[in-house]
Structure 1
Amino acid sequence: MPSYIYPNWLQLVCLFGVAISIGSPAFAAPQNDARNTPLVQAIKGCSLSVVNLRGRKTVTADIGSDSESKQVNGMGTGVVIDSRGYVLTNYHVVQGVKKIEVTTSDRQKTTAKVLAHDPETDLAILKIDLPSELPTIQIGSSSDLMLAETVAAVGNAYGYEHTVTVGIISQLGRTVQVNEDQVYRNLIQTDASINPGNSGGPLLNLNGEMIGINVAVRIGAQGIAFAIPVDDALEVAADLMRNLSAQRIRHGLTTKTILIENQPTVFVDSVIPNSPAAASGISKGDRILSVGDKPVKNRLDFECALVSATGKTGTGAFPLKVEVEHGSSQMTVAINVDRVTHRVSDMAWGSLGMKLVSASDAEMLDRHPTYKRGLRVVSVRPGSPADSEGILQGDVLVAMAGYKTESLENLQWVLEQPDLQQQASFMFYILREKEPFWGKMRVAMRNFASGN
């Protein structure tokens, strides 16, 4: 069980535990039984949306002046945030785990793939595939939490699956530093018993709504544990999913979440001119009600729907049905979504002489303090602008013409700017291993656009 030592007095453990797997008991109570309290109902309502995670990872322990690495069995918890199999958990639960084993509350077993993660906030999104759709966790809000409000934690504590503990909200807005690299901000403090294996599990209110993601506990203390507020977690998760969809499709919408009577509501924040969204008639300020056949209750719902849409078969553009509230009326529009990969690949090969793919999070880890994402060069066309500037296979393009190139959608937007063709040259920045390089490049003639 990894622990984190703090300067002078604070010692925390992120709750990715080493334990054994033990089945969870089933129970039932008559609906009119006095024991069937709101808390009991809350736990019943969420149990199918909580999954248990386990896997092996390598940990390093300091022994005197030496260090020793060993394999340990670790456990954690995840919550189903979308019925298509998207699961939210803590990044430290899955970091370094090659095979993530998942068990649902009805004993289905499968493995998960890490789709995206954010080390700074310690959140990760997993994808699991099962024959049927999964029940999703009911989402609450952390904007109206009250001190001494009753809460419950559910998780895979020490491998005891779906363990339930109860406490109160002890304080809000805590900042906790677990080591030199990891600082959590705006945390919920609770005295609900949280143990190794609880990481990534939900902190619930009495309505059965998730209001936090359990993340850490102070070692040596009693009743001091912490959770990431759900509003913060959902925004990070939505950004992670947006980065995924931006690598594959282009729609031209940005959205924002606004709380109305403490309920999240999703509005169109901007529409890029001449984009598929602009052509559909959708406008800034429209409220998004659904995408496809899935209702949209928060920005994460919207982004999950887009990521799922990227899995549609075919190579060309495809229509995406979006229901919106425009003023006092509702309407359904069809956004003719572009597939980024195909179009941008041709544009980059033709105008720059590079074939590019999105660099993975693992490739970008610790490469540069400013550039966290970029596009890896797969090949360079001889005699092209990229070849003339000495760009090599394996380099990562992180910026050009004054804009970051964090995704293929970013690159497409830059290449489509009318003034780019008029410039004698433009600046570009690449990373070669961890070393930054820059140069000046000119877009090639348009007759290369076919990729010949």
Structure 2
Amino acid sequence: MRAETDHLADDRRCELPLDAYSRTVAEAADRVGPAVVRIENRVGPRGGFGSGTILAGDGLILTNSHVVAAARRVRIALSDGTEAEAEVIGNDPDTDLALLRAGLPPGTKAASLGDSKSLRRGHLVVAIGNPLGFESTVTAGVVSALGRSLRGRNGRLIDDVIQTDAALNPGSSGGPLVSATGEVVGVNTAMIGGAQGLCFAISSNTARFALGAFLRHGRVRRAHLGIVAQTVSLPRGIAVAIGAGPRAVRIGAVEAGGPASAGGLRAGDVIISLDGHAIGGADDLSCLLDADCLDRSVVLSVLREGCVEERAVRPRERNL
């Protein structure tokens, strides 16, 4: 009898981790699932479908930029089948994020953004969306890596991307990546075709930044210098002599009347730093030219004809 009791106790102990896992996934899905919508973009010959997350009861919905594309209005369907029209009030291809506003029924469930910086590799995450037309689909996995960079559809790097093995498929884009506590920690955005378990989400902290910009300005404000930037390698001797890294940015061309031209920069100059921050390539320069660089001058250290010079340049807002 004692041996049989011990055997049953061992079986229960083996089942407990699975029960806890299942319970966590189910609770996360139950908490956020009602806030996930299906998005239909009818612009263009084929249109498209995706997912989104209701973040406020007054109708704010977060999704991917590539889901709405050039559309100004899209159709949404709530988890209970209710349909509505939503207006695109912010669209930023550089972060692949967009914000919609729709008139929603009273009592519509909303999700909350969590802090993606609290994530660690191995943390359980749940992806919710409408892949391939299969609505309210839930997949689960772990955080595979943090701080990835992903090349956006417009060629710009998206930083602070979350890598996960929670399965995504076409139609999942724009849906939430949910933590074990039921908070949205990412916006599902991409998968690697032909690979298994390589999926990516824009972090919730990036989403919070874009959300604030959309609500304040209707867009994410960024600066530009009016140059064609080319990433180049510096000869080791020169890099050591001037205290620079192995790579920098060479100016291939200067826009007439642009900020760089007004600041005395010219084609052939090599930018090695901006306001003391080392520039290791064109992506570094793009990341540093954010809204904080607007309405003031920045100091560029440039290598010209073997000498390092400093130039004050006043960036302008970049219009997409």
Instruction: State TM-score, norm by structure 1.
Output: 0.43
Does structure 2 conserve the Cα–Cα contact (< 8 Å) formed by 1:85 and 1:133? no
Q: Give the letter for the 1:39 counterpart.
A: V
Would the alpha carbon gap of residues 201 and 430 (structure 1) be closer, same or farther in structure 2, given more than 3 Å must change? closer
- Pair 136,403 (structure 1): closer, same or farther in 2 beyond 3 Å: same
The Cα offsets for residues 161-209 of structure 1, whole Å up to 9 and x where unpaired, read as: 1110111111011112245524221100001100111111100111111
Residue 37 of structure 2, aligned match among 51, 62, 77: 51
Deviation of the 1:94 alpha carbon: 0.5
Say whether the 8 Å CA contact 1:116–1:126 is kept in structure 2: yes
1:3-47, CA deviations, whole angstroms, 9 ceiling, x for partnerless residues?
xxxxxxxxxxxxxxxxxxxxxxxxxxxxxxx68612111111111
Which residues in structure 2 correspond to 1:42-191 (within 5 Å)?
Answer: 42-58=28-44, 71-97=45-71, 99-179=73-153, 181-191=155-165
Q: Would you say 1:219 and 2:167 are equivalent positions?
A: no
RMSD: 2.9
Distance 1:159 1:111 in 2: 19
For residues 100-145 of structure 1, give each alpha carbon's deviation from its aligned partner in whole angstroms, at most 9, with x where no partner exists: 1100011111111011122211111101013424211032211111
Aligned amino acid, residue 45 of structure 1: R
Alignment of 1:5-20 (within 5 A): none
Relative to structure 1, the CA distance from residue 131 to residue 171 in structure 2 (aligned partners, 3 Å threshold; closer, same or farther) is closer
How far apart, CA to CA, are the structure 1 residues paired with 2:166 and 2:136?
14
Structure 2 distance, partners of 1:47, 1:131, is 16
Cα offset, 1:244, TM superposition: 4.5
- The reply to whether residue 209 of structure 1 matches residue 183 of structure 2 is yes
Work out whether residues 150 and 205 of structure 1, in 8 Å CA contact, stay in contact via their aligned partners in 2: yes
Q: Residues 54 and 430 (structure 1 numbering): CA distance in 2 closer, same or farther, change over 3 Å? A: closer
% identical aligned pairs: 34
What secondary structure sits across from 1:82 in the alignment?
coil
Aligned mates of 1:54, 1:114 — CA distance in 2: 12
- Give the structure with the larger helix fraction: 2
Counterpart among 15, 22, 38 of residue 24 in structure 2 = 38
Detail structure 1 runs of 4+ shifted over 4 Å in the superposition: none
Does the Cα contact within 8 Å between 1:203 and 1:211 map onto a contact in 2?
yes
Q: Displacement of 1:156 after TM fit?
A: 1.1
AA aligned to 1:89 is T
Larger RCO (CA under 8 A, 6+ residues apart): 2
Deviating more after overlay: 176-185 vs 213-222:
176-185
Structure 1 unaligned blocks of 5 or more? 1-33, 59-70, 246-367, 371-401, 405-428, 435-452
1:72 CA displacement: 1.1
How many positions carry a matched residue from both structures?
A: 211
Q: 2-side partners of 1:52 and 1:155: how far apart?
A: 8
Query: 1:384-395 maps to which residues of 2 (within 5 A)?
Result: none
Q: Residues 40-439 of structure 1 correspond to what in structure 2 (within 5 A)?
A: 40-58=26-44, 71-97=45-71, 99-179=73-153, 181-244=155-218, 403=295
Find the aligned partners of 2:173 and 2:164 in 1 and give their Cα distance: 14
SS in 1 for 2:160: strand
**Offset of residue 369 of structure 1:** 9.1
User: How far is the alpha carbon of 1:57 from its aligned partner?
Assistant: 3.3
3-state DSSP class of the match of 2:43? strand
**Which SS does the other structure have where 1:143 is aligned?**
helix
What SS does the aligned partner of 1:199 have? coil
Unmatched segments (≥5 aa) in structure 2: 1-18, 220-256, 260-293, 297-315
Change (3 A) 1:187 1:403: closer
Q: Are the aligned partners of 2:186 and 2:204 in contact in 1 as well (CA < 8 Å)?
A: yes
